[in-house]
């Protein structure tokens, strides 16, 4: 069983969708809420104590480099850190066809990991058909269900790293 520590509800929805899609037994992701490396370590230890054989901590690239180094040092013996470039919504943008099937329009972006604000890009895409993307966990799950993970991992190196850690 795999455990996760994530930043917020959309990250949690993404993880739940991926685990379901891949048929993996995963514990419900824990939401960290904040940037406290000791809290991340404690949450990872709790997941291990609750039966998780592996724990992955997801942190957005937008976190400061110093914080990411602190986080990595803090969780080193209890979990693996995956830095999401720049945030989980970029991973959704990695499959424009899936976004189009769910939101009704295709995002206009070449490299999701270089997108300055993936949330705004998803919102602009949704607004083209009179909708909004408001960091909805329900929409995230729907997009993940539609995603071609092999194609998406080719467009996002951080997603590829995450999927390799998840399945190794």
Dist CA 73 CA 38 (whole Å): 10
pLDDT at 65: 87
Q: What is the pTM of this model?
A: 0.94
Residue 45: which of 75, 15, 19, 69 has the closest Cα?
A: 75
Dist CA 99 CA 73 (whole Å): 36
The predicted-structure confidence for 144-167, as pLDDT tens digits, reads as follows 999 999 999 999 999 999 999 999
Centroid of chain to Cα 156: 12
Domain ranges of the chain: 2-167
The predicted-structure confidence for 120-130, as pLDDT tens digits, reads as follows 999 999 999 89
Cβ 7 vs Cβ 35: under 8 Å: no
> Which tokens is 149 given?
């993970």
pLDDT at 151: 97
């Amino acid at each position: 069983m795999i455990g996760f520590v994530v930043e917020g509800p959309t990250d949690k929805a993404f993880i739940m969708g991926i685990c379901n899609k891949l048929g993996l037994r995963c514990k419900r992701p824990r939401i960290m809420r904040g940037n406290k490396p000791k809290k991340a370590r404690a949450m990872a230890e709790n997941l291990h104590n609750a039966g998780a054989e592996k724990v992955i901590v997801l942190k957005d690239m937008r976190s400061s480099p110093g914080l990411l180094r602190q986080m990595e040092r803090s969780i080193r013996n209890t979990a693996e850190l995956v830095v999401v470039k720049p945030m989980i919504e970029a991973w959704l943008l990695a499959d424009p066809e899936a976004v189009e099937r769910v939101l009704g329009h295709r995002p206009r972006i070449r490299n999701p990991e270089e997108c300055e604000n993936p949330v705004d890009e998803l919102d602009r895409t949704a607004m083209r058909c009179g909708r909004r993307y408001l960091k909805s966990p329900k929409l995230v799950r729907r997009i993940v269900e539609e995603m071609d993970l092999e194609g998406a991992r080719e467009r996002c190196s951080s997603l590829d790293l995450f999927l390799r850690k998840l399945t190794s």
